[in-house]
Amino acid sequence: RMIYSNRDSKELIIDLMEEHRAKFAVIYSGDSNFEMTLKTNNRIEHQVIRDQQGPFEFIQEVDVPYTGPYLVDVYTQGEWSIEQR
């Protein structure tokens, strides 16, 4: 498990193992729009995980087609944390 905490927009590099589903638990305490997108290491959009007005908490599962590095692109204002489960 990994937990990433930050504020405002950020791009994270994470390693994922090929599996049917990977799980992310997200807490966003800001009140603006929060957009989280999973991208391949070539910056190709794989899946929009959330595009929603905050604040909120959620758990989201995503498909992982290959083992390797991915980018998690967070575009927002305010504090957030992402737990990779």
User: What is the per-residue pLDDT across 49-79, written as a single tens digit (0 to 9) for each?
Assistant: 999 999 999 999 998 989 999 999 999 999 9
pTM given for the model: 0.88
Q: Tell me, what's the pLDDT at 20? A: 73
Mean pLDDT (whole number) for 29-48: 94
- Look at residue 28 and tell me whether its pLDDT is greater than 90: yes
Residues 6+ apart with CB under 8 A from 23: 59, 60, 61, 84, 85
